[in-house]
Structure 1
Amino acid sequence: MPKKKISQQNYDIIFKAMTEQFGQKALNFYGIYTAPIRRVEPTDLPVIDVNERRMDFVFLLQDDTYLHLEFQTTFSISDLKRFKLYDAALYDKTGRNIYTYVIYGADITKADEHLDHGSIQYRANAIYMKDYNGDDIFRRLSYTVHHQETLDDDEQLQLVFLPLMQSKKKRTDLATDVVELANQVKNEKQRFRLIGTTVGIADKFLDDSYVDKMMEVFKMTRIAQKVYEDGIEEGKQEGRQEGKEAIQEAILSYLESQFDLRSNDIQHKVKSIDDMGALNALITTLYKAESEKQALQLIDQTLNHE
């Protein structure tokens, strides 16, 4: 199946979620001490003649400088040279100072941070996720999610960065677990922000097929949250009911596009799932289904456990 490109509209929504997520306290947690973030900036720099022309993330800070973040699961001097070209082009375009940090996955224990090209000196500060035990953190966060309404700033960033941490699991499996756990966060706004940020970061280091599936979860969550928030803003008691119906319709749309499932029986089953928590749980398990049979089994399991 061809990759469903993440549209610019969806990137804009994800970046907004990331701007909210990368609060000052959270950046400090990872040893990044900067002025507060003002907004996420576009990362396309067409003047650069390299294969990949998009920087990972660039944040405009309150002191009118840039924070440039890159996510890497491998290290190569050629990557460092590429980041140098990015920063040079960005400075040439804006005239603003740029401070670059590279967040390396747990497989990287040491990486060069400095390029010495004579008169040209370049530094990209390295942050290593190898020092974080992802399995222990996941267990702790799972307990918190199931016993509290929200996660604090540090816990949210730990959850988002879990796929890069040290773990006995495969990175793809850990990313799947993160999306599932994020979707169990009780607070609607925080849940949406966490999933959006996780998708935005995962797009930088996971295989296309996993990002595609995670994107489905993000889109379905976005639809439900938008309907629910509109209902609250208008003072409607049925806001949550409309949100539930939006998730049901999104699930049916996903089943039709992925597996060509559109029977009346399937529609009846999905629409008979009345609990919002069960629907949210189904979203984050359904996207892992590799076949029509698996998808149907997941729906039946949800109905049996309501």
Structure 2
Amino acid sequence: MAYGTGGCVKKRTKKINKTPEGKNPATKNSIHHEDLALKTAAQYFGEELMPLLGIQGVVNYIAPTETVILEARQMYQDFNYVRKDGAWIHLEFESDSITKEDLKRFREYEAATSRIHHVEVITYVICSSKVKHPRTILKEGINVYQVKAVRLKGKDSDQLFKRLKENAEQGLKPSKADLVSLLLTPLMSGRLRIEERIIKSLNILQNSRELITEMELEKMQAVLYTLADKFLNETELNRVKEMIAMTKLGEMLVEDGIKRGIERGLEEGMEKGIEKGIVETCRELGVSFDETIKKIKQRFGISEKEAREIVNKYWL
């Protein structure tokens, strides 16, 4: 996203009224995968994530992210923490360049939050774009406003995988902070393709089940799956789905997918439509051919031979 043009008279264009969060209403309902993944990581792994991002202070608890100002306009921030010294850490996740309008929005968040909650606020912008020198300062009149930018592309995923491999060869288990670091690898720099980073990370997580709770493992897998859906093409994503399908998260996705498959089939108004919907949905989610046969067999209470015939019919 360019900061502006110059040297000529700009052609007047129709102004687009953006939402209070600075989004174009035309894309208001689109899924921002990186934001979603990073917000999940921030919510569940703040204690480990903050040092990895170079953010100072010790988190005490999560702070509200919704601020209502006098004109009754709701201001939604990406994420807030309360430090033990009482100051607030405000996180914003940006996959594009930081623009002047972004800085104005962040300044407004800070001012409203500080006044209403009577706290100091420090804004960190977690950048996953390739911009090497993101804009962090806004000068207007006699005022200077500044945020702290954290460039994920400035971190090397190759070095992280190398260190974890060397530790494993010495019999050392990864720490929880190491596992949280894996969630950021798709957004880092490195020679490995993003697909390879995600698969490596999923493997390491799967082999470290005893170090974290089942819920934490599912959340970590969900973050990586969300980023895979954002960055990978269909062929690459299918390879990731094959791994995910073998996990608890995969089972949950498949069950949800089967429900959607049934709904899809019901639209055709007959039982055969349900069979088709389930088979097509399982295939889209990366469930193997044989596993889909088991799902069909369980769903309809039929023999394996009958289930195989149904899957063969709709496995296009």
Q: Normalized against structure 2, the TM-score is what? A: 0.56
Q: Say which is worse superposed, 199-208 or 185-194, in terms of deviation.
A: 199-208
**Helix, strand or coil for the counterpart of 1:122?**
strand
From the superposition, tell whether residues 252 and 197 of structure 1 become closer, same or farther in structure 2 (CA, over 3 Å): closer
User: Which residue of structure 2 lines up, in the alignment, with residue 296 of structure 1?
Assistant: 288
Shift of the alpha carbon at 1:140? Answer: 4.9
Counterpart of 1:43 (choices 34, 41, 65) is 65
Measured in 1, the distance between the counterparts of 2:60 and 2:55 equals 15
Measured in 2, the distance between the counterparts of 1:53 and 1:171 equals 34
Shift of the alpha carbon at 1:146? Answer: 10
Shift of the alpha carbon at 1:208? Answer: 11
Q: Please show how residues 74-113 of structure 1 align to structure 2 within 5 Å.
A: 74-75=96-97, 76-105=99-128, 107-113=130-136
**Helix, strand or coil for the counterpart of 1:42?**
coil
From the superposition, tell whether residues 202 and 111 of structure 1 become closer, same or farther in structure 2 (CA, over 3 Å): farther
From the superposition, tell whether residues 204 and 95 of structure 1 become closer, same or farther in structure 2 (CA, over 3 Å): farther
Counterpart of 1:21 (choices 17, 25, 45) is 45
User: Which residue of structure 2 lines up, in the alignment, with residue 66 of structure 1?
Assistant: 88
Q: CA RMSD in A?
A: 5.1
Q: Is the 8 A contact 1:113 1:126 kept in 2?
A: yes
From the superposition, tell whether residues 52 and 93 of structure 1 become closer, same or farther in structure 2 (CA, over 3 Å): closer
Measured in 2, the distance between the counterparts of 1:89 and 1:209 equals 39
Alignment-mate amino acid for residue 150 of structure 2: I
Count of residue pairs the alignment pairs up: 238
User: Which residue of structure 2 lines up, in the alignment, with residue 164 of structure 1?
Assistant: 187
Alignment-mate amino acid for residue 21 of structure 1: F
The Cα offsets for residues 204-241 of structure 1, whole Å up to 9 and x where unpaired, read as 9974999xx99xx7xx858xxxxxxxxxxxxxxxxxxx
State the structure with more CA Rg: 2
Q: Is the 8 A contact 1:69 1:102 kept in 2?
A: yes
The Cα offsets for residues 237-259 of structure 1, whole Å up to 9 and x where unpaired, read as xxxxxxxxxx86x4662341243
Shift of the alpha carbon at 1:182? Answer: 3.1
Q: Is the 8 A contact 1:183 1:191 kept in 2?
A: no
Shift of the alpha carbon at 1:165? Answer: 0.4
From the superposition, tell whether residues 291 and 202 of structure 1 become closer, same or farther in structure 2 (CA, over 3 Å): closer
Measured in 2, the distance between the counterparts of 1:174 and 1:81 equals 35
Q: Is the 8 A contact 1:185 1:191 kept in 2?
A: no
Measured in 2, the distance between the counterparts of 1:104 and 1:184 equals 30
Measured in 2, the distance between the counterparts of 1:101 and 1:127 equals 7
The Cα offsets for residues 112-158 of structure 1, whole Å up to 9 and x where unpaired, read as 21112234331111111222222443465478689979531441332
Q: Please show how residues 1-306 of structure 1 align to structure 2 within 5 Å.
A: 18=42, 21-23=45-47, 27-34=50-57, 36-47=58-69, 53-75=75-97, 76-105=99-128, 107-138=130-161, 140-141=163-164, 151-168=174-191, 174=197, 178=201, 181-187=204-210, 189-190=212-213, 192-193=215-216, 195-196=218-219, 199=222, 207=230, 221=248, 250=252, 253-260=255-262, 291=284, 294-297=286-289, 299=291
Measured in 1, the distance between the counterparts of 2:228 and 2:214 equals 22
Alignment-mate amino acid for residue 261 of structure 2: F
**Helix, strand or coil for the counterpart of 2:183?**
helix
Measured in 1, the distance between the counterparts of 2:110 and 2:61 equals 18
Q: Normalized against structure 1, the TM-score is what? A: 0.57
Shift of the alpha carbon at 1:86? Answer: 1.3
Measured in 2, the distance between the counterparts of 1:95 and 1:201 equals 37
Measured in 1, the distance between the counterparts of 2:87 and 2:179 equals 25
Q: Is the 8 A contact 2:67 2:74 kept in 1?
A: no
Q: Is the 8 A contact 1:163 1:178 kept in 2?
A: no
User: Which residue of structure 2 lines up, in the alignment, with residue 275 of structure 1?
Assistant: none
Alignment-mate amino acid for residue 96 of structure 2: T
Unaligned runs of 5+ in 1: 6-10, 223-246, 264-287
